[in-house]
Amino acid sequence: VREAAFAAAIFSTATAPLTDTYDPSALPIDPVSYDGPHPSGDLISDTMETEIALFQPGNLPMEFVMAAIQRFKDQKLIHKRYVARLLIACKRYFQSLESLMEINLPA
């Protein structure tokens, strides 16, 4: 009972993980200054739900990935909003996996 009360007392939004509290949508993309790739093609996503869905594992278009790789090779960056979406999606994906995987190795 004391442990539960202590845990409840110290829990706050300040201790919540940034991936649960940060909203990448707050980073506006200026089409004039950002000339890099967009996950939905040449345009900024219509809705945030569409953009969030694109960054789920297996949904990111190959064209965006290849354009981002080429941009990195050219010593350029992709937009911070896309980086944040990637990092948040990766963290959630890896948290959903088991921490230990058993594999069979040929003898």
Per residue in 15-64, pLDDT (tens digit) is 778 888 899 999 999 989 999 999 987 666 667 888 888 999 999 999 99
pLDDT computed for residue 67 by the predictor: 96
* Assigned domain for 103 exists: no
What are the Cα distances from residue 2, in Å, to 5, 6, 9, 31? 5, 6, 10, 54
What are the Cα distances from residue 65, in Å, to 22, 49, 103? 23, 20, 29
Residue 81's SS3 state is: helix
Higher pLDDT, 92 or 14: 92
* Assigned domain for 38 exists: yes
Q: What range does the domain containing 26 cover?
A: 17-96
Number of structural domains the chain divides into:
1
Evaluate if pTM is beyond 0.85. no
pLDDT band for 12, please (50, 70, 90 cuts): low
* Assigned domain for 40 exists: yes
* Assigned domain for 63 exists: yes
* Assigned domain for 75 exists: yes
The conformation of residue 13, written as its DSSP 8-state character, comes to T
Cβ neighbour number for residue 3 with a 10 Å cutoff: 7
- 57-85 per-position pLDDT tens digit: 999 999 999 999 999 999 999 999 999 99
* Assigned domain for 104 exists: no
